[in-house]
Amino acid sequence: METIRLGSVGAGFVANFHAVALKSVRGVELAGVTAPVGAEELSASSKANGLGDCTVYPSVAELCKHCDAVAVFAPNFARIEIVEEIVEAVKAGAQLKGLICEKPLGRTIADAKRLVALAKEANLPTAYFENQIFMKSIKNALMQLAPAQKAMGPIALARSAEEHAGPHEPWFWDPTQQGGGVLSDMACHSIAVSWYVLTPVGKPANFLEPVAVTAETSLLKWGEAKYRKDLLERMGVDYSKTPAEDFCTGMVTFRNPDTGQLVKGQFTNSWMYDKQGLRLFMDGLGPGYAFEVNTLKSPLEIFIGDVAAEAVADAETALEKATASRGLLAVQPNEADLYGYVDENVDMREAFLAGKDAYLNWEYGLEITKLVQAAYLAAERRQTLDLTDPGIQKELDSYTSLIAQGKGAEVLFR
Ligand SMILES: NC(=O)c1ccc[n+]([C@@H]2O[C@H](COP(=O)([O-])OP(=O)(O)OC[C@H]3O[C@@H](n4cnc5c(N)ncnc54)[C@H](O)[C@@H]3O)[C@@H](O)[C@H]2O)c1
């Protein structure tokens, strides 16, 4: 079997999640890593799990010389500089088959456009890693409902949510580093999922045209004095000065270019979901049929009483972002597969070996960035934005949200 040698730029949370996923993927070897923090640990676990030698390299340039595909699993603020280094390495002779970037592609539309241009400059196929579209539950729902969709008409309303109690690293909380709050961090997933499930069976991922966006951003928990103090102490981020939204909701309206039908994707995301841990919730409603996914429902149920709880070292062994280690716990035995990481890596491998873009490429990532940024602008203006208006599109091209500029108080405290 032909193997792709994968190189990881970054060795934090998501790089380790992908490493778990790779245990279930044939023909991908974790060949190397470069990262200021965590590289040795990722290398050791990769070797222990038979995923590959995962050599630690001192630079992006060195990594590129020893792998076939490079994955940018580093923080959002480091994307452009890293991809510039990759492009330089390719120009210097590195033989790459493809470039991967985790969500969100850019912190702004200008950032995302720059990344698309860099990949073109290197003439490399790309993969935009949006795992939730690859969730087996979503794929199966659409497959099961395909005949009903053909007979009755497409899904007309999709609702999608990703929620947890808050990110694990300070840079996520700092809107000037991350590019915003939960809208930038997690609505990018939910908007993509809705766009995907609303798309008529057999049509490409960008078939439906986004025509309007409305959104609200709020600071519901982490702006309160008690929690603001906690955040400052734990993460060093001061939400009295540079707040980001911990809740967002909104709606994207899409138009079917063949029929003119308008369909709606509603998103809701929060960093104040103080329940068992990460919850992905999606549903889709078509005429006469529907589906629903809730990742907190598991066939496995665990109970740990107070006395036994002393023995549980890490709540996150049960579930990503789990906040409790006792009581009735939601436990997912294979989160990497459940959330779609396995299948997105399979898709990437097949595409890159065939010399093609993955199912979702960086141009698609740019479209998602546009929708996220349009949602910020809609929330700032308290207006529904008409995305077919060339004036709005032009404005968005150079737009940085007030929240991402560190001026979130103007939006969130009004
Ligand atoms: N698909 C998902 O659901 C999902 C989940 C988590 C994170 N992510 C995305 O993955 C990316 C990384 O997030 P994370 O949670 O792993 O972050 P993290 O902070 O846990 O890890 C970041 C890693 O990148 C390294 N790094 C930092 N600056 C770097 C630089 N300039 N060059 C090279 N490496 C650098 C760090 O040392 C660390 O190893 C983010 O873009 C995030 O949005 C996606």
The answer on pLDDT for 331 being more than 80 is yes
CATH number, domain at 185? 3.30.360.10
- Does 103 sit in the ligand 1 pocket, CB within 6 Å? yes
Residue 35 Cα, ligand 1 centroid: separation in angstroms? 9
* Mutate-to-test residue for ligand 1 from 8, 9, 14, highest number of ligand atoms within 8 A of CB: 14
Burial of 156 (0-12, 13-18, 19+ CB in 10 A): middle
Taking the C-alpha atoms of residue 268 and residue 248, their distance in angstroms, rounded to an integer, is 6
Express each pLDDT in 98-119 by its tens digit: 999 999 999 999 999 999 999 9
Cα distances (Å, whole numbers) of residue 343 to 87, 143, 242? 27, 16, 37
| Residue 187: predicted pLDDT | 98
Do 145 and 196 fall into the same domain?
yes
- Does 9 sit in the ligand 1 pocket, CB within 6 Å? yes
Where is the domain boundary, 96, 124, 152? 124
Do 139 and 91 fall into the same domain?
no
> Coil, strand or helix: which one is 63?
helix
Do 114 and 141 fall into the same domain?
no
The model's confidence at residue 327, banded by pLDDT at 50, 70 and 90, is: confident
| Residue 104: predicted pLDDT | 98
Do 116 and 137 fall into the same domain?
no
Do 142 and 289 fall into the same domain?
yes
Q: What percent of the chain has pLDDT over 90?
A: 90
Taking the C-alpha atoms of residue 129 and residue 364, their distance in angstroms, rounded to an integer, is 10
- Segments forming the whole domain that contains residue 265: 133-298+368-412
Express each pLDDT in 181-230 by its tens digit: 999 999 999 999 999 999 999 999 999 999 999 999 999 999 999 999 99
Q: Are 381 and 222 in contact (CB under 8 A)?
A: no
Do 275 and 225 fall into the same domain?
yes
Please give the model's pTM, rounded to 2 decimal places: 0.96
Do 270 and 388 fall into the same domain?
yes
Do 269 and 394 fall into the same domain?
yes
Where is the domain boundary, 77, 100, 124? 124
Average pLDDT, the chain: 96
Taking the C-alpha atoms of residue 379 and residue 358, their distance in angstroms, rounded to an integer, is 32
Taking the C-alpha atoms of residue 132 and residue 253, their distance in angstroms, rounded to an integer, is 20
* CA-derived radius of gyration, the chain: 21
> Coil, strand or helix: which one is 254?
strand
Residue 26 Cα, ligand 1 centroid: separation in angstroms? 24
The answer on pLDDT for 312 being more than 70 is no
Give the chain's domain count: 2
Does residue 79 belong to any structural domain of this protein?
yes
Do 159 and 198 fall into the same domain?
yes
Residue of 83, 74, 159, 126 lying closest to 347 (CA atoms): 126
- Find the range with the poorest average confidence among 10-24, 111-125, 308-322: 308-322
What residue type is assigned to position 290 of the chain? A
Do 148 and 116 fall into the same domain?
no
Express each pLDDT in 156-176 by its tens digit: 999 999 999 999 999 999 999
Do 81 and 156 fall into the same domain?
no
The model's confidence at residue 325, banded by pLDDT at 50, 70 and 90, is: confident
> Coil, strand or helix: which one is 67?
coil
Do 73 and 183 fall into the same domain?
no
Where is the domain boundary, 103, 124, 145? 124
Q: Which atom of ligand 1 is nearest to the CA of 167?
A: 15
Taking the C-alpha atoms of residue 232 and residue 227, their distance in angstroms, rounded to an integer, is 8
